[in-house]
Amino acid sequence: RKEVEQDPGPFNVPEGATVAFNCTYSNSASQSFFWYRQDCRKEPKLLMSVYSSGNEDGRFTAQLNRASQYISLLIRDSKLSDSATYLCVVLTGGGNKLTFGTGTQLKVEL
Partner 1 sequence: EAGVAQSPRYKIIEKRQSVAFWCNPISGHATLYWYQQILGQGPKLLIQFQNNGVVDDSQLPKDRFSAERLKGVDSTLKIQPAKLEDSAVYLCASSSPQGRNEQFFGPGTRLTVL
According to the binding rule CB under 8 A, does residue 58 interact with partner 1?
no
The site that binds partner 1 (CB under 8 A) totals a number of residues, namely 21
To partner 1, the closest distance from the beta carbon of 79 in angstroms equals: 23
Please select the residue that binds partner 1; options are 7, 13, 26, 49, rule is CB under 8 A. 49
E-state strands within the chain: 4-6, 11-14, 19-25, 32-38, 44-50, 55-57, 60-65, 70-75, 84-92, 97-100, 104-109
To partner 1, the closest distance from the beta carbon of 31 in angstroms equals: 9
To partner 1, the closest distance from the beta carbon of 102 in angstroms equals: 5
Burial of residue 38 (number of CB atoms within 10 Å: 0-12, 13-18, 19+): middle
Interacting residue ranges for partner 1, rule: CB under 8 A: 4, 8, 32, 34, 42-46, 49, 87, 91, 95-103
